[in-house]
Chain A
Amino acid sequence: MSLWSIAWRYLWNRKLTTALTILSVALGVGMISAVLTLREETQRRFEEEGQAFDIVVGSKGNPLQLVLSTVYFMDAPTGNMDYSIFESLKEHEDVTHAFPIAMGDSYKGYRIVGSSPELMDFAPGGRSPYTLAEGRYFEKSQEAVLGAQVARDSGLKIGDTFVGTHGLVQSAFAEVHDDFPYTVVGILNLSGSPNDRAIFCDIQSVWDVHSHCDADHDHDHEHGHDHDHPEVTAVLVKLASPALRFEFKDHINKRSNAMAAIPIMEIQKLYEQLLGTAKLVLLAIGYLVVAISSLSILIGLYMAILQRRRDLAIMRALGATRGEIFGAVIIEAFWVTLLGIIAGWFMGAVTCAVLNHFLVTRIGFHVPAIHMTADLVSAYSAVMLMGLIAGILPAWQAYRSDVARDLSEL
């Protein structure tokens, strides 16, 4: 019979107290697990998207806004710029791929993104983010390919038609482009990327809709449309080598009226500045919960040791050393903390699953089930250390007990 099984039997002997202590540890561990996993996975997915293109070129403004609006479809574009910029970029010797992007309309809150048909064939690293679930890619104006989430939420099927509304957010007062219906020709596979929330069409469609629109209204002020000289919202650029990013960015920023941004850099800055702080706050709360849990381990074990003074004295009388008694109590703290970590891991997994559902609906990002990472291993080790430290005081109490007194008094 090992000290491990002796400690286990004592924990089992006070099931309710043990279960409550384990639960309190699990709450903290669950929170830490969820925060770390969500942070790592969302950052990884954001960065994956950001890596697809080396450079985004748009009109001058906030580079993060440019990246968020054109790569992640999450923010308002910085404005429009002349189509000639796209043409000159396309001809640049360092550019292997350049895709024009034009935005301005939406359908039920989902952006209509105009680009060249070549965008659909773009497969960075051999993986295409635009694989078809059904139908085909757009080939001419007013043909649309729906992101998976758009298709699911709108109920649109191949052959259905819809009309866009002016602006990128859903509004009852938005102008509806009734004269320019789109026909659904394809639906993309669910990719867990922002593409799930976008409607892709030929850039000519966007120009056609706004050409007509501008005949009735003057939107030039708002969107900068000038149809004698077509405009684009941004250009997505893939360079011959990622090493050229900084040089190319500086080149654009210094020598043109446009602004270049490196998506991956902007996203990392966003994480450091904003989400990094949020992560720290959530982690701090998680560790605070674990600290409180450690206190409950300490109190639980301390009370148990007080109640078990006689049992410990009997073990001493049977020949157990002070070290063995100390070890048995520390092992109890170990069991409680270990079970708390395991239970917390499951709670974190459930939390991730729930939050995953939320993130998919909200921003189109899938977060896979919780899995072990170096950060999580470090966090669990820290929790285990706190649990063991919490066991030291009760273990010390047991260590220094007076056997003769405990046997005679109790």
Chain B
Amino acid sequence: MVLLEQVSRRLGPGVLFSCEKFHALPGSRTALWGPSGCGKSTMLNLITGLLRPDSGTIRIDNEDITPLSESRMDAFRGERMGFVFQTFNLLPPFSALQNVLLGMRFSDAIPEKEWKDQALTMLERVGLERRLQSKPGTLSVGERQRVAIARALVNKPRLIVADEPTGSLDPKTATSVMSLLLELCEEEKVTLLLVTHDRGIAEQLPDLFDCTGLAREDES
């Protein structure tokens, strides 16, 4: 469950992010839709604790994350959240397998002895069992995003946040990646928040939250 109530955050001179209320049920799949600059990525950063609100409450899995210390927030994020980015954000020096292992390295969600088996299983599920040792630079863009999805899900998180996950993909690959992401979230019963400016993509998800106007000029 994700809940934002009366959340505000000053983003710079004269720009204020403000969200009266947002609610996503456990296991739901919600598109945060809106044009560029509307505040949807800021909302994602607030939900993941990468930005802290100036006021209001953010609850994830019934836990209020706003008072958490930074280190506790880091641990919380590592254990309960998975990220999928528009530009994949794989770490270049590491192979596909190592990138997925890194997903577990910084959290205590999975015991260390199970890391490798878990990573191999996830890579198999995204169809990359033959590209385990490949570095990101040698993978196609679709394969890179599959590795990123495997990394996001390997910790068995409660929440997946995907920021424009198909933004760098051609339509055919985008469709395939979207199907995979939705299918895996469904199987794992993970809550999905997907940021997109593409109405077509947003409408593929059961729930849609219009982010238009969340970030606006401060009138006060």
Contacts and interface: CB of A to CB of B under 8 A. Distances in A.
A305 to B, nearest CB: 14
B88 to A, nearest CB: 10
A317 B93 contact: no
B50 A317 contact: yes
Interface in B77-129: 77-79, 83, 85, 89, 91-94, 98, 101-103, 105-107
B101 A1 contact: yes
B93 A404 contact: no
A362 B38 CA distance: 81
B218 interface: no
Contact of A317 (B51, B83, B98): B83
A363 B206 CA distance: 90
Interface stretch (B21-29, B67-75, B167-175): B67-75
B130 to A, nearest CB: 22
B39 to A, nearest CB: 12
A324 B92 CA distance: 19
- Chain B interface size, under 10 / 10 to 19 / 20 to 34 / 35 or more: 20 to 34
A87 B77 CA distance: 93
A10 B102 CA distance: 14
Given A1-B102, A404-B51, A407-B50, A319 B93 contact: no
A322 B106 CA distance: 11
A323 interface: yes
Given A404-B50, A404-B51, A407-B50, A320 B92 contact: no
B77 A13 contact: no
Given A319-B75, A319-B78, A319-B107, A12 B93 contact: yes
B74 A316 contact: yes
Nearest to A13: B93
B45 interface: yes
Contacts of A140: none
Interface residues of A, number: 23
B106 A315 contact: yes
Contacts of A10: 93
Nearest to A410: B87
B166 interface: no
A13 B92 CA distance: 8
Contacts of B101: 1
A323 B72 CA distance: 12
Interface in B28-45: 41, 45
Nearest to A311: B91
A311 B92 contact: yes
Contacts of B196: none
A210 interface: no
A408 interface: yes
B48 interface: yes
A314 to B, nearest CB: 5
Given A315-B106, A318-B103, A408-B41, A403 B93 contact: no
Contacts of A403: 50
Contacts of B50: 316-317, 403-404, 407
Contact of B89 (A6, A12, A407): A407
Contact of A323 (B71, B103, B105): B71
A337 B151 CA distance: 33
Interface in A310-345: 310-311, 314-324
A203 to B, nearest CB: 75
B89 A310 contact: yes
A147 B102 CA distance: 67
Contacts, number: 69
Contacts of A321: 70-71, 74-75, 106
Given A310-B89, A324-B106, A9 B74 contact: no
Contacts of B91: 311, 314-315
B89 A314 contact: yes
A13 B94 CA distance: 9
Given A1-B98, A407-B85, A318 B106 contact: yes
Nearest to B105: A1
Contacts of A13: 92-93
A1 B77 CA distance: 19
Point out which of B71, B83, B98, B105 has the most chain A C-beta atoms below 10 A from its C-beta.
B105
A311 B98 CA distance: 14
B123 to A, nearest CB: 15
Contact of B45 (A6, A12, A314, A404): A404
A5 to B, nearest CB: 9
Contacts of A311: 91-92
Interface string A1-40: 1000010011011000000000000000000000000000
A316 B85 CA distance: 14
A316 B83 CA distance: 11
B183 to A, nearest CB: 23
Shortest Cβ-Cβ A-B pairs, 9 listed = A319-B78, A319-B106, A13-B93, A404-B50, A320-B106, A319-B107, A9-B93, A404-B45, A321-B74
Given A318-B105, A318-B107, A319-B78, 19 more contacts: A1-B98, A1-B105, A6-B102, A9-B94, A311-B91, A311-B92, A318-B83, A319-B106, A320-B78, A320-B106, A321-B70, A322-B71, A322-B74, A324-B106, A403-B50, A404-B50, A404-B51, A407-B50, A407-B89
20 contacts: A1-B98, A13-B93, A311-B91, A315-B91, A315-B102, A316-B74, A317-B50, A318-B78, A318-B105, A319-B74, A319-B78, A320-B105, A321-B70, A322-B70, A322-B71, A323-B71, A403-B50, A404-B51, A407-B85, A407-B89
